[in-house]
Structure 1
Amino acid sequence: MSPMFILGVLFRNYIPEHALHLPFFLILTGSPLLCSQMFRLYYTHKPRIHSEEYRTCAIGSSVQPASHSFGTILNTSITESADAIIRVALYMMLASIWMHMLDQIILTDSVGKTILLSTFEITTGLELLSGLAISRNIRYLIMLALTSFGGISSILQTMSMVQRSGLKMIPYIAEKLVTMTVTSLLAYLYLIIINY
């Protein structure tokens, strides 16, 4: 998660208590670092089953730098960048549309519905969560979990960016869920320790 999103959106708009900003920031940025070390240990001890071709495939660009002119490379870079930006924006819009459609289909107003809907797109999801009539600490834990997870929109965005790489999305999603859980547990322990 981007530090600017944490500072500019989450803290500025939804967590006004300045005393919680530094600890929550450290939890949100430290959890992925902690989890990445756990995943690294797991994957370094896992037997290699992938072919050399699978491990060396390109993530994005099809440009061969040695065989094209600067103008061709620049043009391809601009085109691929615009394509990526448009795809990210469209997935955000699509997730918001799905969220609003589900909101109309699920007629009950409940905490569970709000939490479910908030998982589609993080910015709109945080707005929904901020209006929940639950204890502040529980609301903050859910907000931190969602921020750590990133939402369904972020998964779709990642899928679109790495589709040609051969990377599998199931491990990525599982790692996001583990990181979300670790973030929630660390935040919960912190709130218990400081008796907030």
Structure 2
Amino acid sequence: MQKTFLGISSVILFISMLIFPKAVLLGASNGLLLWFHIIIPTLFPFLLLSTFLLSTKNICYITNMFGSFISYIFGVSKPSSYCILVGFLCGYPLGAKTVADFVRDGLISQEEGRYLLSFCNNTSPSFIMNYLVLKTLNKEKLLLPTLFILFFSSYLISIFERKRYHFTPLNRHFSFHKPVWSIEAFDLAVLDSFESLVKIGGYIIFFSVLLTLCQQIPFRSPIFQIIFSSLEITNGLKLLANLPFSFQTRYILCVGLTAFGGFCSVAQTNCMLHDTGLSICSYTKQKLAAAVTASILCMLYCKI
């Protein structure tokens, strides 16, 4: 049944691309520009440095500085503190990639990886502040409240999910006694980072095309616009910001989409999880739960 659905959907998409070539060109161009001008400059340095630190065993310096505090707050092993830092500060899908790398390398258990994936793959603070609050909403006074709502909603999800996953934080998984520096490791980190960026760029272009094609549908109902916005976060926020609703409603919708990340980020996350045993279905449900939680917190803030 699933294969039949995917087959029919692919045929419909192919026919739509033939009927609306201008929309395909526009969507692909928008996706490519987004990837080239925003994703590469903002994500590549973090991808490169994170991969290099892990391969040379130098992340022990970071975990020694922050590990005890973060592991106490989230109930995880000391090495997992690095995954949480990256997941909260660097943006999609670097948090998921870091968790997946840790699971593959045996630094954390698969069960702990599932728990980490449930809450530490998030939109970066830079995107929240610059694109969501300042550019899309144009309300500087919402900077701190929005950051708090999105981060706190992820923390609430972590508290809830902690009861589902049973694991014992074993810090012995992470005993790097001799950090090293190597130009060969740096070369490999560059290649690995660009491979990840190419995958991310491919998904961004595809979902930008898909979103542009969906906008060719003659139905202009706000409900359809809300559904379409969930495909890709950057263009989706533009759609939500232009809906004929009150500012509070648009703010709540935008915060909810930012907490979810869009289906494009789900696809990007999925490509990072190969050979780990981590479930993309569980991740998607957890991100939807985070979106609902953030929306509720946003509603409470608007009422206050």
Considering the TM-score relative to the shorter chain, is it more than 0.5? yes
Amino acid at match of 1:157: Q
Superposed CA RMSD in Å reads 2.0
Does structure 1 conserve the Cα–Cα contact (< 8 Å) formed by 2:150 and 2:255? Answer: yes
**Counterparts of residues 114-193 of structure 1 (less than 5 Å):** 114-192=225-303
User: Is 1:88 aligned to residue 200 of structure 2?
Assistant: yes
User: Is 1:36 aligned to residue 186 of structure 2?
Assistant: no
3-state DSSP class of the match of 2:244?
coil
Specify every segment of 5 or more residues in structure 2 that has no aligned partner in the other structure, as ranges: 1-122, 168-172, 174-181
User: Is 1:27 aligned to residue 149 of structure 2?
Assistant: yes
Amino acid at match of 2:190: I
Which segment is superposed worse, 35-44 or 14-23?
Answer: 14-23
Cross-structure match for 1:51: none
In the superposition, the TM-score normalised over structure 2's length comes to 0.53
Q: Relative contact order: is structure 1 or structure 2 higher (C-alpha 8 Å, sep ≥ 6)?
A: 1
3-state DSSP class of the match of 1:42?
coil
* Alpha-carbon shift at residue 71 of structure 1 (Å): 5.7
**Counterparts of residues 57-68 of structure 1 (less than 5 Å):** none
Aligned partners of 2:139 and 2:195: how far apart in 1?
Answer: 39
Amino acid at match of 1:77: A
Cross-structure match for 2:215: 103
3-state DSSP class of the match of 1:133?
coil
Does structure 1 conserve the Cα–Cα contact (< 8 Å) formed by 2:137 and 2:241? Answer: no
* Alpha-carbon shift at residue 72 of structure 1 (Å): 5.0
* Alpha-carbon shift at residue 22 of structure 1 (Å): 1.6
Specify every segment of 5 or more residues in structure 1 that has no aligned partner in the other structure, as ranges: 46-55, 57-69
Cross-structure match for 1:5: 127
**Residue identity (%):** 31
Paired residues, what number? 171
Aligned partners of 2:207 and 2:166: how far apart in 1?
Answer: 35
Does structure 1 conserve the Cα–Cα contact (< 8 Å) formed by 2:134 and 2:140? Answer: no
Amino acid at match of 1:91: Y
